[in-house]
Amino acid sequence: MGEEQTLFETRYRALASRDARFDGQFIAGVHSTGIYCRPSCPAITPKPGNVTFYRTAAAAHEAGLRACKRCQPDAVPGSPDWNLRDDLAARAMRLVEDGVVEREGVEGLARRLGYSSRHLTRVLTAELGAGPLALARAHRAQTARTLLASTELPIADIAFAAGFGSLRQFNDTIAAVYRATPSELRALSRRGRVGSPVDADAGAGSLTLHLAARAPLDATGLFRFFADHAVPGLESGDETGFARPLTLPGGPATIEVHADPGRAGLRATVRLSRLADVGVAVSRIRRAFDLDADAVAIDEALGADPVLAPLVAAVPGIRIAGSFDPVEALFRTLVGQQVSIAAARTALGRLVTDLGGGVFPSAETIAARGREVLRGPASRIDAIVGVAEALVDGRLALDIGMPLAEFRSALLTQRGIGPWTADYLAMRSLGAPDVLPVDDLVIRQSAAALGLPGDRGGLARHAVRWSPWRSYAALHLWRARPPRARARPA
Angle at 293 between CA 330 and CA 431, to 5 degrees: 15
Q: Of residues 23, 37, 277, 299, which has the active-site annotation?
A: 37
- Residue 52: in which H helix or E strand, if any? strand 51-54
Provide the 3-class DSSP secondary structure of residue 248. Answer: strand
Q: What does the alpha-carbon distance between residue 481 and residue 458 come to, in Å, rounded to a whole number? A: 18
| 290, 313 Cβ separation under 8 angstroms | no
Task: Note if 393 is an active site residue.
Answer: no
Work out whether strand 66-67 and strand 35-37 pair parallel, antiparallel, or are unpaired: parallel
Provide the 3-class DSSP secondary structure of residue 87. Answer: coil
Q: Of residues 218, 294, 399, 440, which has the active-site annotation?
A: 440
Long-range residue pairs from 352-360, CB within 8 A, at least 24 positions apart, any chain: 352/231, 352/232, 352/233, 352/234, 353/232, 353/233, 356/234, 358/233, 358/234, 358/245, 359/234, 359/245, 359/247, 359/252, 360/231, 360/234, 360/247, 360/325, 360/328, 360/331
Provide the 3-class DSSP secondary structure of residue 207. Answer: strand
> What are the strands, taking DSSP E only, across 163-316?
206-212, 236-238, 241-248, 251-259, 265-272
Task: Note if 41 is an active site residue.
Answer: no
**Cβ neighbours for 419, distance < 8 A, ≥ 6 positions apart:** 412, 437, 439
Q: Tell me which amino acid residue 94 is.
A: R
- Rg of the chain on CA atoms, in Å: 23
Where in the sequence numbering do the catalytic residues fall?
37, 440
